Amino acid sequence: MFARQPDLLADRDAVEIVVDGTTVVARAGDTVAAAMLATGLSCIRTTPVSGTPRGPFCMMGVCFDCLVTIDGHASQQGCLVKVAPGMRVDTQHGARPIVVTAKDWT
Amino acid sequence: MSIVDVAIVGAGPAGMAAATRCREFGLDTTLYDEQSGSGGQIYRGITRSPLIQPEVLGAEYWQGAPLVRALEKSGAVHVPDATVWSATANDAGIALGLAVGTPGRRTSSVVQARAVILATGAMERPFPVPGWTLPGVIGAGSAQILLKTAGVVPQGRTVLAGSGPLLWLLAWQYLRAGIAFAAMLDTTPRGRLAKALRHAPDFARSPYFAKGRELVRDVRRRANVIEYVTTLAIDGDRAARAVRYTVDGREHTIPVDQVMLHQGVVPDVNLAQAAGCVLAWSPAQACFAPVVDAWGGTAVAGLYVAGDGAGIAGALAAVPRGRLAALAVANALGRINHVTRDSMARRDRGELAVAMRGRAFLDALYRPADTFLLPSGSTLVCRCEEIDAQTIIDLARQGCAGPNQMKAFVRCGMGPCQGRFCGLTVNALIAREQQRDPADVGYYRLRFPVKPVTLEEMAAGPRTPEAIQAVERLEKTETDPM
């Protein structure tokens, strides 16, 4: 598993996010995927096709294996989104739920 | 719709240098990048790396800092968190489909540019070995990004496996940061060095030579480097648990908590190809790259490709390549005549020639072994749609015409990564099974959007007359079959 190496790092503000209902302390500047890996989590989703576990792989926005639900928005690339205080991150299992919200389009 | 003179996609060394040069000619320049800061992947996090000991990453990393400073002073507009998902030529130049913002606030819009420079860079080459999709298996470049941007490093038992300069660099950086790893499994085949040696005199004059030699020696001295690894597999149920590998015909197993894989980088061609650029097979680099002229110009008028996105040459070469594209744009848009363009280009071409020294050596030495380009059995080729090698091989044997027909048959390349992690493998397997040249087999026909964008994001964009016209139901006419 991965972990933060504190003696390498300058101080940064702590940012609390909520991962699957549990508060996790990340650091300002972290991406969601890095923050999740830093907590020791390596599997962050299961695939829609076979349900097998996956974790962040490329960390640069091309592999789509770090897809998570962020503040209710499904299939976001965790490696491209920075953590923000109070951000709610949920792991995805299988296909994302397709939620249709009625909106005033006029 | 916003209109700019030049839109540049990608804020790595090529994009930063191109934007800075465009501004020298007073061109209204906007630079789009998916990350929140400039630097690209090679200089990722350079403006805000939290690492307190800069020497951990090595001096080469910090060479990116002057590029960022020049960009910041240039007056170019830098739009972070921006995904360009289309690029379409029109009478006024190129229109870019753009999605900007954080989840829930991401909106899509269209930007019209008179000229566009794509500096979309490289990505790690697919490394389809058994278990490469398991959690705990990441790319070496990916591991570097975690180190550079967040100080997140492997704990417990770690194995680095593969070949190429970046794998050695990661090993060296880990050692400097005090991070131990059980082994580095070098998959560079026997005989490669001998083949590469004819390019050695050139490489000896390369800016990468002294550093590279020192770095490899240092890693060999301090780490458990196992050479001539001929097979590689990662075992595990829900995460990587062991690496199996073969040396001299004997199989060995190392228990692991994580594995960093790497076998070089290849151009990220999706946006360029979807925009209409012609791709060519590079036998030396075993990948496809857009065909460009000496300025980065492509088959699409007004569209240029600079940096590793136009063929792997590294960060030092990306800078003059970006500047040369900018010169061509300034000339095309009437800011400088061709005499000025050519005279200014002389210095950039000199710099490029120096940066390119020894590239042939690196290409020959680190060309992946066929074993690692040609998976078999149940090893996944397409990570997104979970299509295995045997499926591709069987269809190729039945006469599947090429990657596009393969896509139609089994959906490989149709997941969110849009073929980035399977296209080269599908090409290689078809080429072998049908005894064809990879150039003849070709690549996927890529289409917009090259990155997923939701209808909601598109609908949330500005309601310009063009946008409304694009989606509104057309008035019925006499000939309307409806």
Q: Convert the pLDDT of each residue in B455-473 to its tens digit.
A: 888 888 777 776 665 556 5
Say whether A59 and B153 touch across the interface (CB within 8 A).
no
CA distance B11 to B119: 7
How close does chain A come to B128, measured CA to CA in Å?
13
Say whether A49 and B386 touch across the interface (CB within 8 A).
yes
Q: Convert the pLDDT of each residue in B106-161 to its tens digit.
A: 999 999 999 999 999 999 999 999 999 999 999 999 999 999 999 999 999 999 99
Output DSSP code: residue A29: T
Task: Give the model's pLDDT for residue A100.
Answer: 59
CA distance B40 to B59: 17
How close does chain A come to B372, measured CA to CA in Å?
18
Task: Give the model's pLDDT for residue B466.
Answer: 64
Is-contact B284 B186, C-beta < 8 A?
no
pLDDT higher than threshold 50 for residue B279: yes
Task: For chain B, say whether A17 makes contact (Cβ under 8 Å).
Answer: no
Q: How many A×B Cβ pairs under 8 Å? A: 152
Confidence of residue B480 (pLDDT cuts 50, 70, 90): very low
Task: Give the model's pLDDT for residue B469.
Answer: 59
Task: Give the model's pLDDT for residue B61.
Answer: 86
Report the residue from B34, B135, B420 with minimal CB separation from A55: B135
How close does chain A come to B49, measured CA to CA in Å?
9
Q: Convert the pLDDT of each residue in B280-323 to its tens digit.
A: 999 999 999 999 999 999 999 999 999 999 999 999 999 999 99
What are the pLDDT tens digits along chain A (106 aa)? 899 988 888 888 999 999 999 999 999 999 999 999 999 988 999 999 999 999 999 999 999 999 999 999 999 999 999 999 999 999 999 987 776 566 544 4
User: What predicted TM-score, i.e. pTM, was given to this entire model?
Assistant: 0.95
Contacts of B56 in chain A (CB under 8 A): 8
Q: Convert the pLDDT of each residue in B349-395 to its tens digit.
A: 999 999 999 999 999 999 999 999 999 999 999 999 999 999 999 99
Say whether A38 and B35 touch across the interface (CB within 8 A).
no
Report the residue from A4, A47, A63 with minimal CB separation from B151: A4
Contacts of B146 in chain A (CB under 8 A): 2, 34, 37, 59
How close does chain B come to A35, measured CA to CA in Å?
8
Confidence of residue B194 (pLDDT cuts 50, 70, 90): very high
What's the per-residue H, E or C state across B219-282? HHHHCCEECCEEEEEEECCCCCCEEEEEECCEEEEEECCEEEEEECEEECCHHHHHCCCCEEEE
Contacts of A5 in chain B (CB under 8 A): 151-153, 177-179
Contacts of B268 in chain A (CB under 8 A): 62
Dig out the tokens for B315 from the structure: 């960060």
Provide, rounded to the nearest whole percent, the portion of chain B with pLDDT above 90.
84
Say whether A63 and B421 touch across the interface (CB within 8 A).
yes
Cis peptide before B449 (omega within 30 of 0): yes
How close does chain B come to A49, measured CA to CA in Å?
7
Say whether A8 and B238 touch across the interface (CB within 8 A).
no
Task: Give the model's pLDDT for residue A65.
Answer: 97
Helix B389-397 / helix B403-410 crossing angle, nearest 10 deg: 120
C-alpha closest to that of B169 among B137, B140, B138, B203: B140
